Amino acid sequence: MTSPFDLTGRTAVVTGASRGIGAGIATALAEAGADVVRVARSGADISADLATADGALDLVAQLDALGRPIDILINNAGIAERNPAEHHTIQQWDVTLAVDLTAPFLLARELGGRMLERGSGKIIFLGSMMTWQGGRNVVSYAAAKSGVAGVVHALANEWADRGVNVNALAPGYIETDLTSGAHTDPERRETFRQRIPAGRWGTPADLGGAAVFLSSAASDYVHGVVLPVDGGWLVR
């Protein structure tokens, strides 16, 4: 009997897959049997700059040129511009929303449209603890990740009865380049660790199982969920 978590024969696209959470998710999907197309600015199967709408649409064209349907889209690529709100520049605001919200929507719109025509597909966005919490010095990032939840809910309402699942993962404090300012500082690292019920920082591999679940037939009746993978941070 085939496992409901088996992704054999499925093609998955993971943006921001050259390192960090994207690399962890890409590895997990491949281990579950998927044929994974890794996307990043460099060092991946396909290069793309998601800081502009044209860059996102160019990625869609590159994927179309592969000549095979995309069954799974993981909208992982993201950035965080740090600056106190009173000094946060419009350039920081614009580029963060472009990469973290606009590009994921465009990819979902274009690839999701093709999934709708086939009557099946899985789309996973990446949220954050900032989907619920404002954080400090990351106002554009908090806005973008809050927006991700809204897009996920809206697309789920429109597409759930047409065979396309739209959900999101919300990583907690994971050891990546994005959080290096905290996890490489012994004092800050320990402060955060003590706040996490699981008693440790997460690693990119910790996102793998949840990503496989939301990409597989096991989640066919799961729509519009923003799933925290945070070691219990939100319930503390």
- In tens, the pLDDT along 67-79 reads 999 999 999 999 9
Q: What does the longest C-alpha to C-alpha distance in the chain come to?
A: 58
Answer yes or no: is 18 within a domain. yes
H helix intervals, the chain: 20-31, 53-65, 90-97, 103-118, 139-159, 180-183, 186-195, 208-215
84, 135 contact by CB (below 8 A): no
SS3 167: strand
Q: Is the Cβ–Cβ distance between 167 and 222 less than 8 Å?
A: yes
Percent of the chain clearing pLDDT 90 (strictly above):
87
Residues in the chain: 236
Measured between alpha carbons, how far is 79 from 49 in angstroms, rounded to an integer?
12
In a domain, 110, yes or no: yes
Q: Which two tokens stand for residue 199?
A: 């008693």
Q: Exactly one of 125, 141, 201, 233 is catalytic; name it.
A: 141
86's CB contacts (< 8 A; 6+ apart) are none
Q: Which domain holds residue 56?
A: 11-227
Total domains, the chain: 1
Pairing of strands 164-171, 72-75: unpaired
Tokens encoding 143: 């806005």
CA 182 to chain centre: 21
User: Does 42 reside within a domain?
Assistant: yes
* pTM reported for the whole predicted model: 0.95
The answer to the question of residue 218 being in a domain is yes
Residue with tokens 């088996």: 6
In tens, the pLDDT along 192-236 reads 899 899 999 999 999 999 999 999 999 999 999 999 999 999 998
Q: Is there a catalytic annotation at residue 173?
A: no
- Pairwise pLDDT comparison (111 vs 179), residue with the higher score: 111
Residue 134 within a domain: yes
Here the CATH number for the domain that contains residue 223 is 3.40.50.720
Domain annotation covers residue 212? yes
